Chain A
């Protein structure tokens, strides 16, 4: 397994190591804005991303996957935990401890691609201004060098450099998303956080953007943290997948492992909910009862226990730790080794 090789020191090294990340949002009410509760958006999660891989965070809306990505890039202030990022000189820095000024040079190496290509590009800036802005902010190159760089980036994302004086409205959704990718690549980042990058696109255009992202990864040695609710897209692009439920990790594994032999009952339910691609595969779905738990008032014990067909008394009181199972996979379920699950 990939996990083993890293621990033996033979595999690719860890680029980002998230340890015990917590992000709570206060709920404020009334005239004095008193804090009356907390939303536990991300509640003690740990995972690592290796150089050159695509790690995906999946889960239903409100599971904390976007909050995790935003905390890593420090768009949100993490409540607790370590975010160890290996810089170019091989030194591991805890991003959670840096001040925003110290964070600025690191941001060159961490870039983000957003979901909505219609609202993430400033309509009053032309394409040259949009893509060169990160270069300008970081004081890189003269104006003619920047222009050359923008032309090069446009070619990389398969747009014509002649278009650089045009404004975003002249481009389709797929083209705008490629402009967003070009902007993210401008500073030669090492880790790209992509939050639902193809969800806003028409299905016939999604494949273009996914293929481009995979090609860029191969040619530029990029590492992706990919956030998506679309399990089919995740399966296609990822090396490993982190399944989240109400701010916690249910399971980590390769897409094939999670789909063929899920260990956590939630993973099995999630995979089983994905529509089958051919009508002959219509089967009785394993339909989850009930609603996703409320992160402001989560249940005791394992957050999934009220919906879990395998829950025991232990699950109602004790939080299952994320442990490495016998075959080297990470699961947080008290009964992972006893129950037989299938996604189909």
Chain B
């Protein structure tokens, strides 16, 4: 069954218009709980209260305000927030292309799959051209009244649209002020570390990594569901020694 699209629009590169549909490419599998009252197991619900009157407030009497200074708010109507979305509508203009490999992982935010709309030939052509050139098209995308910077690239047989962080949203290493330490690692230590990296080198295979914590939580729920007593065991911390060389040697020796 075809998945449900979440946005229909057009990607353009120059005068070529490619009608497209967007699909979620990712989903969180985190175990979600409801909040309940410990005493009686009843659901917890959240109610809105006016902090001044100490009275419950209905949702229709709630507005959104931006705090310009302590306690002073500028209230925006829904339509006014919409005005910030700009006039781009449902179009993503790819205005320039960059080598996809140059985009540092730190910029990638969220990924969507791009499927074809009508005019499937144009979709196929864009996919093939991006795949062959190894480039990503850069453009802007308006979704739920918010504009994003995006990169569109070929991912296997489909196109992917990645929302990107803006440069000022990314913290640079220079801002960290890390102490350099008085003694640099010795050449011998570096060589040992190199050998250790080589020994642990492998191809990237995401299927090797399972969320064992999620499994453990689900298992806990099942055991609790059967009425089992849960053992609240203590955790142990790894020791860390100061002898780098000995630790490196021992690591290599144990392989």
Chains A and B are bound partners? no
What residues of chain B have their CB less than 8 Å away from a CB belonging to chain A? none
What residues of chain A have their CB less than 8 Å away from a CB belonging to chain B? none
